[in-house]
Amino acid sequence: MSFMKLHANGIDIHYEISGRGPCVMFAHSLGSDLSIWEAQKSALAARHTVLCHDLRGHGGTDAPAGACDFDLLAADAVALLDALGIERASFVGISLGGMIGQAVALAAPQRIERLVLASTASRYPPEARTAWAERIRQVEATGLEPLVGPTLERWFTAPYRAAHPEVMARIGGLIRATPVAGYVGCCHAIATLDFTARLKALAMPTLVLAGEQDQGTPPAMAREIAAAIPGARLEIIGNAAHLANIEQADAFTGFLAEFLG
């Protein structure tokens, strides 16, 4: 296991790599970092090289000011693979990470072995742009602190939150620690999300995962993605909201391990 930084696509990217075997690259959600993949990493490292990285503007990766888009976020991921000499990898993305997974698969399909899109969307209705613009204004005005409580409520079901205060403290700390520039920059990308019509071009094996109680990216959004990608498989995870990889780690990791082979 090693934690490292390298310079790629104009920024310093913080990543960790462990295990051995075919590479699996993980991309986290808006307002978190690579540490959300702990359960998946330990389960997969026996048979896979597991590559986790902090997205642009998050964790230990640089947070340049200004809006970013999915072309840029996808280029970051490909540049990291290039810098590490990894020709092909399976890609697992949750939430924002799943949007980046779609962007990488569309921009550089030859680099993606298998694709896992969890708790994510391929487009938002036009009125969502207003909501993202409002979120950007709020964060620029007051920082991340006011978002911690509402975000945890969206990310986890009420029974899980009540039973796991230590997880709430840890994940709340990740949200709180996200640089404003990084959070806002990625919000600008999410506000433009519109991949659905292009997904029919994807030919790699794809698994779509959704938390049954996810309010932010509900199962209907997962169904839309799975219907758009030829041959995609859809699994709905019960008793889970947005961060199903944490709330129902065993179920999530089980689907992953089986799909990755």
Write the CATH number for 217: 3.40.50.1820
Q: 192 lies in which domain range?
A: 2-260
Angle between the N-to-C axes of helices 127-142 and 180-191, in degrees from 0 to 180, rounded to the nearest 10: 170
Give the model confidence (pLDDT) of 164-181 as tens digits.
999 999 999 999 999 999
Q: Could you give the number of structural domains in the chain?
A: 1
185 exposure class (CB count in 10 Å sphere: 0-12, 13-18, 19+): buried
- The first and second tokens of residue 136, run together, are 């950007």
142 exposure class (CB count in 10 Å sphere: 0-12, 13-18, 19+): exposed
Are 35 and 174 contacting, i.e. CB atoms less than 8 angstroms apart?
A: yes
Phi then psi for residue 12, to 5 deg, are -85, 120
Give the model confidence (pLDDT) of 218-233 as tens digits.
999 999 999 999 999 9
Q: Which residues contact 1 (CB under 8 A, 6 or more apart)?
A: 16, 17, 18
| pTM (whole model) above 0.75 | yes
Are 231 and 205 contacting, i.e. CB atoms less than 8 angstroms apart?
A: yes
Which phi-psi region, left, alpha or beta, contains residue 6 (left: φ > 0; alpha: ψ -120 to 50)? beta
Give dist(CA 244, CA 152) in Å, integer: 12
Q: What is the pLDDT of residue 219?
A: 98
pLDDT band for 51, please (50, 70, 90 cuts): very high
Give the model confidence (pLDDT) of 114-151 as tens digits.
999 999 999 999 889 999 999 999 999 999 999 999 99
